[in-house]
Amino acid sequence: MGYNRENFRRIRQEYETKYLDARAEAEARRGELHARFPEVAEIDAAMHELGVTLLRTAVGGGPDAQAKLAALREQNEALQAARAAFLTGKGYPADYSEVHYACEKCGDTGYVDTKMCDCMKRALTAAGFASSGLGHLLQTQSFENFSLDYYRRVPEQFAAMQRNYDILYRYAHEFTAGQCRNIALFGGTGLGKTHLSTAVARVVIERGYDVCYTTAIDLIGDYEFDRFKGGREDSADTLAHYADCDLLIIDDLGTEVVNQFTVSVIYNLINTRLNCGRSTMISTNHSPKELRERYWDRITSRIFGEYQVLVFSGTDVRAQKLRQ
């Protein structure tokens, strides 16, 4: 599905406004010049007249059309030069009444030919960060600042973490919508599960996909709120995003209260996404065994059957950092 639909709609609208505003502002500056300087109004009227003649000559053709056109163009250039000289003489920039787009490349349309302009991609990425639910984590957690040094003490742990890093790095950089590649991160507290989940999210958003990050507790909270409110539109949007986004990241699975409601919410979400071919990443600091004990077989068999399991090991990096 690609970019978040709501963000896309809003940003298209912002571009349309930006484009029209830029043109209206230029028109207002032209009006201001005409009001202040009749000379400019005269030049503009002459240029308009010239434009009409140019067009008529070009369409009409005739034996000496080319020569006429060249002469008209020359006159036009002379008028433009006179206008620019007049304006700079009065302390105005020569292009004062030109349209000034925020992006010269696409003229604030968001597209260059049929390709999306980089400025619009950047706007969508920023909006994707904002709507991902990751907030401040995105500023501090990336692949670049994830260090494998923290796992060096035990060679097997180091090798396992290097492999996890490589798999997640590739996962993020090769992510495509609808591929349905699911990953479950297991491991004790402070070992970098959330950090690498954020790193994956950032790359996948930058590559133009719709990512939604949530903790299991917040997820359940949203479903409870929706049930409590009787399916109001504001919460329905959030729930739809959990189901529809290209990549859903459910962090800290197993910290929520386990009861029939929560288990059925998580089961249905995981199952729906599997059936629709949408990718999901989960992480938990329970062991696979604990997770089995905690949830019904229905959930754990889905997870262990359809998810690539990555086990994080090492010494709590949070604690290691505090000691540094």
Ligand X SMILES: Nc1ncnc2c1ncn2[C@@H]1O[C@H](COP(=O)(O)OP(=O)(O)OP(=O)(O)O)[C@@H](O)[C@H]1O
Residues that bind Mg ion (CB under 5 A): 193-194
Please report how close the Cβ of residue 183 comes to Zn ion at its closest, in angstroms.
35
- 117 in contact with Zn ion (CB under 5 A): yes
Is 246 within 8 Å of 278 (Cβ atoms)? Answer: yes
Burial 68-98 (b: 16+ CB within 10 A, else e): beeebeeebeebeeebbebbeeeebeeebbe
161 CB-contact burial (10 Å; exposed 0-12 / middle 13-18 / buried 19+) = buried
> In angstroms, rounded to a whole number, what is the distance separating the alpha carbons of residues 83 and 43?
7
* Residue closer to Mg ion (CB basis): 33 or 184: 184
Among 119, 190, 269, 295, which residue interacts with ligand X (rule: CB under 6 A)?
190
Output the CA–CA distances (angstroms, integers) from residue 73 to 55, 68, 81, 108, in the order listed. 11, 9, 12, 29
- 241 in contact with ligand X (CB under 6 A): no
* Residue closer to ligand X (CB basis): 193 or 241: 193
- 105 in contact with Zn ion (CB under 5 A): yes
- 83 in contact with ligand X (CB under 6 A): no
Partner from ligand X, Mg ion, Zn ion, none contacting 229, C-beta within 5 to 8 A by type: none
- 103 in contact with Zn ion (CB under 5 A): yes
* Residue closer to Mg ion (CB basis): 193 or 286: 193
156 CB-contact burial (10 Å; exposed 0-12 / middle 13-18 / buried 19+) = exposed
Number of residues that bind ligand X (CB under 6 A): 18
Among positions 108-147, residues that touch ligand X (CB under 6 A) are 141, 145-147
Which x/- pattern over 272-311 shows residues binding ligand X (rule: CB under 6 A)?
A: -------------x--------------------------
- 215 in contact with ligand X (CB under 6 A): no
- 274 in contact with Zn ion (CB under 5 A): no
**Non-local CB neighbours of 172 within 8 Å, separated by 6+ positions:** 143, 199, 200, 202, 203, 204, 207
- 194 in contact with ligand X (CB under 6 A): yes
Please report how close the Cβ of residue 124 comes to Zn ion at its closest, in angstroms.
12
Show the CA angle centred on residue 169, arms to residues 166 and 173, nearest 5°. 140
* Residue closer to ligand X (CB basis): 44 or 316: 316
Write out the DSSP string of 16-66: HHHHHHHHHHHHHHHHHHHHH-HHHHHHHHHHHHHHHHHHHHHHH--TTHH
Among 83, 195, 202, 241, which residue interacts with ligand X (rule: CB under 6 A)?
195
Which H/E stretch holds residue 153?
Answer: none
- 317 in contact with ligand X (CB under 6 A): yes
Partner from Zn ion, ligand X, Mg ion, none contacting 103, C-beta within 5 to 8 A by type: Zn ion
- 213 in contact with ligand X (CB under 6 A): no
* Residue closer to ligand X (CB basis): 78 or 319: 319
Among 3, 19, 129, 150, which residue interacts with ligand X (rule: CB under 6 A)?
150
**Non-local CB neighbours of 207 within 8 Å, separated by 6+ positions:** 172, 173, 175
Distance between the two ends of the chain, CA-based, in angstroms? 44
* Residue closer to Mg ion (CB basis): 22 or 266: 266
Residue, CB closest to ligand X = 192
Return the C-alpha torsion angle 78, 79, 81, 87, nearest 10: 160
Q: How many other C-beta atoms can be found within 10 angstroms of the C-beta atom of residue 162?
A: 12
Give the footprint of Zn ion on this chain (CB under 5 A).
103, 105-106, 117, 119
Give the footprint of ligand X on this chain (CB under 6 A).
141, 145-147, 150, 187, 189-195, 252, 285, 317-318, 321
